[in-house]
A and B are shown apart, each in its own frame.
Chain A
Amino acid sequence: MTAAWAADEEPQTQNIAHNDDVVRARQQVRTLAQRCRLSLVDQTKFITAASELARNTLVYGGGGELRSGLVEREGRRGVAAVFEDSGPGIPDIDLAMTDGWTSGGGLGLGLSGARRLVDDFVLDTEVGRGTTVTIVKWAR
């Protein structure tokens, strides 16, 4: 985590095992982004980034889990989402983060695009162990 979960509440978890769970993941972060009072543009950016990462967790990670909640750092409030899977991991991070590169049939803009859509982006992956991506968007 790049910041502590807000002290007054536990992060929520959402299993990501089916297509419907991607929709649920989106709804979960939408609610949080609204509660965090992000601007409409920032809400949409954060939700879209979450949508990308949830789908990657499902499609490439073979399913996993989303933990999301409000976070605080130096008096600022933000919303964070952690996508974790124990799938194959990403062998070449630079390649995976390259605009337009996909090992499947996608547009290859999910990871790189998600990074541009949020304030903090941490990718932690190891071949054979799995992948964890953490994103945070701070309220302005």
Chain B
Amino acid sequence: MAKQGTGSGLVGLLSADEGSLADQWIDSVVGSLKGRISKAEVGRELHELYGALVEALRAGGTDAQSQEMSETRALLTELSRNRARQGFTPTETAISVLALKRVLEPALNGGSAADVAAYLELGRLLDDLALFTLETYARAREEIISAQAVQLMELSTPVVKLWDGVVAVPLVGTLDSARTQVVMEKLLQALVETGSEQAIIDITGVPAVDTQVAQHLLKTIVAARLMGADCTVSGIRPQIAQTIVALGIEFGDIVTKATLADALKLALTRSGVDLVTRGGDQR
């Protein structure tokens, strides 16, 4: 029954002067966030949290992972996700929990032995909850970063329609498996949507073509062909051409052109467009 005893000791500690404790906690957190969140918002968050914490302690939960703490954890999850999204640092996030420890410190002065024991136990609980907050924060940050990476991937692989029946993908940067998958899907989709039969993949912006990049390119081209499209690779710079040859990569019957303009000219000819130069001009 000792556990029950401490549990209620914790509740006692927290609800001794409930209103002013919560207010001090809120003030200290608001101060540490330097006005980047309104006091009203922090107040709402922390009041809910305070309520859930007292509720959990009343129900006998003294462990951060316990069933009784699930509401508290849910609130902390929301809090740390919001902080991560708003660009707060890990410290600024964890302080929301840890500040409560500081606010409770006066209970140590002149408190009974039971108060001190209760403070220490609550301190451990708050430490664990702060760690939980940091974990959630880190996870939220990772999710944000990988979502941005996906967005960037889509942003950096536009499929453009150059002419009726001709689409092109200018590739810029490193081609890894994930990105090639996106390129391939977008190209095939664009072929269908625009009813195009000519596709140009321009690699002017790809710094190095190793065997993996080449294999991804070849797969994309085979897939486009299966859909009845002709594929041309353009923008193979001299240093890339020499490297591809030395590596021993064979592009087989895949048509390659030095520049996007050359590839476009070929694609137009193939789709039956007559390129006429008006008299007097060159070419």
Binding site for B on A (CB under 8 A): 19, 23, 26, 30, 40-41, 43-45, 47-48, 51-52, 55, 99, 106-107, 109-110, 112-114, 116-117
Interface of B, helix, strand, loop or mixed by DSSP = helix
Given A55-B210, A99-B248, A107-B211, 17 new contacts (CB under 8 A): A19-B176, A19-B177, A23-B174, A23-B176, A41-B238, A44-B240, A44-B242, A44-B243, A48-B208, A48-B247, A52-B211, A109-B211, A109-B248, A112-B248, A116-B247, A116-B248, A117-B246
A55 cross-chain contacts in B, Cβ below 8 A: 210, 212
A30 cross-chain contacts in B, Cβ below 8 A: 207
In B132-187, which residues have CB < 8 Å from any A CB?
174, 176-177
Q: Does B249 sit at the interface, judged by CB under 8 A? A: yes
Decide: A116 near B208, CB < 8 A? Known: A23-B174, A40-B239, A107-B215: no
CA A99 – CA B174 in complex, angstroms?
25
In B234-253, which residues have CB < 8 Å from any A CB?
238-240, 242-243, 246-249
CA A113 – CA B247 in complex, angstroms?
4
Q: Are B242 and A41 in contact (CB under 8 A)?
A: yes
* Complex A-B, nearest 8 residue pairs according to Cβ-Cβ distance, in ascending order: A113-B247, A44-B239, A51-B210, A107-B211, A41-B239, A116-B246, A109-B248, A109-B211
Interface of A, helix, strand, loop or mixed by DSSP = helix
Binding site for A on B (CB under 8 A): 174, 176-177, 207-212, 214-215, 238-240, 242-243, 246-249
Q: Are A48 and B174 in contact (CB under 8 A)?
A: no
Decide: A45 near B246, CB < 8 A? Known: A106-B215, A107-B214: yes
CA A44 – CA B241 in complex, angstroms?
10
- Interchain Cβ contacts under 8 Å between A and B, 12 examples: A19-B177, A26-B208, A30-B207, A40-B239, A41-B239, A44-B239, A48-B247, A55-B212, A106-B212, A107-B249, A110-B210, A110-B211
Q: Are A117 and B208 in contact (CB under 8 A)?
A: no
CA A116 – CA B249 in complex, angstroms?
12
The residue of chain A having its C-beta at the shortest distance from the C-beta of B174 within the complex is A23
